[in-house]
Amino acid sequence: MPRKTMIEAIRDAMDVMMGRDERVVVFGEDVGFFGGVFRCTQGLQAKYGKSRCFDAPISESGIVGAAIGMAAYGLRPCVEVQFADYVYPAYDQIVSEAARIRYRSAGDFTCPIVIRMPTGGGIFGGQTHSQSPEALFTHVSGLKTVVPSNPHDAKGLLIAAIEDPDPVIFLEPKRLYNGPFDGHADQPVTPWSKHELGEVEDGHFSIPLGKAVVRRPGAAVTVLAYGTMVYVAQAAAEDKGIDAEIIDLRTLLPLDLETIVASVKKTGRCVVVHEATLSSGFGAELAALVQEHCFYHLEAPVTRVTGWDTPYPHAQEWEYFPGPARVGRALAEIMEG
């Protein structure tokens, strides 16, 4: 089976869908001739032409607004916002239009758009190129939110997102584009070409939205993570020698509550890990759900390990980033609780 980087897998997903369905169009800032800032769309314009893959003006609200209009007329746009940090001018279009069309029209219209965005830090991008805004979207009824952690899932989930009749926010952890990152910044990254999750089958396949996967079975504590934090949690568990069960959520909405509850009822402990800031982060929702559904099985309070409640710093990136040392301390402490 061929091995791909996450960049190549994402490009392959769009290529497959553009080849299968002429309604699929791809556009955004620099995604056409240039192939995108991370080259996720490289070669698509040459293959499908300027009417199927094209550059848009530097206007996130314009990109998303145009995509909504296209969807209403029967197309299936897959648009790129160059960094998740740039999405805020388009937030009104996403919340007030894309997420509401099905409800406002009593089902007469849907909005089959995908909004792709590189997310997260670990690349010294500073406060305007490192944000993790997933909680802003999971709060909005009518949106689906996806965060893949590897090339195989990225392709299958993106195909499922493009085929979905409703708007999907597709957040791509850019620290994972070229290899899994375990938070040890002083150690080399294993390329996807040497990692089992870099194996991506050719052609069409999809991974259902709303289905988590257990990345590391365990019996002592459940760790809920997504994106880059899956690998940080694995490193922390191995460093501490703790029998942690690590669940890769993959999609935040719809959420695979069944898998979460089954794991926490088995282990009796739960640690939630994400890179976004602590206050009102998605981890708060996860902690509340675990408390609600697993209260009589918990042996200790649910613990969250996250970014700090500050803008993402440039000079102190690794003090902000929830690395294996911080996650490991939380695992050790909850085992004593």
Catalytic positions are 129
Say how far residue 306 (Cα) sits from the centre of its chain: 16
60, 198, 247, 314, 327 from 231: Cα distances, Å: 31, 14, 11, 22, 11
> Would you give the distance in Å from CA 251 to the centre of its chain?
7
Spatial contact of 158 and 168, defined as CB atoms under 8 Å apart: no
Q: Are strands 168-173 and 144-146 parallel, antiparallel or unpaired?
A: parallel
Q: Per the structure block, which two tokens stand in for 224? A: 């809920």
Closest CA to 26 of 94, 76, 92: 76
- The Cα 323–Cα 96 span in angstroms is 36
Edge-first strand listing for the sheet containing 251-253? 53-55, 24-28, 76-80, 114-119, 168-173, 144-146, 251-253
- List residues bridging with 225 in a β-sheet: 248
Distance of alpha carbon 63 from alpha carbon 59, whole angstroms: 6
- Which uninterrupted H or E stretch holds 53? strand 53-55
Kind plus residue range of the DSSP H or E element containing 294: helix 282-294
The three-class DSSP label of residue 195 is: coil
Neighbouring C-beta atoms of residue 296, cutoff 10 Å: 6
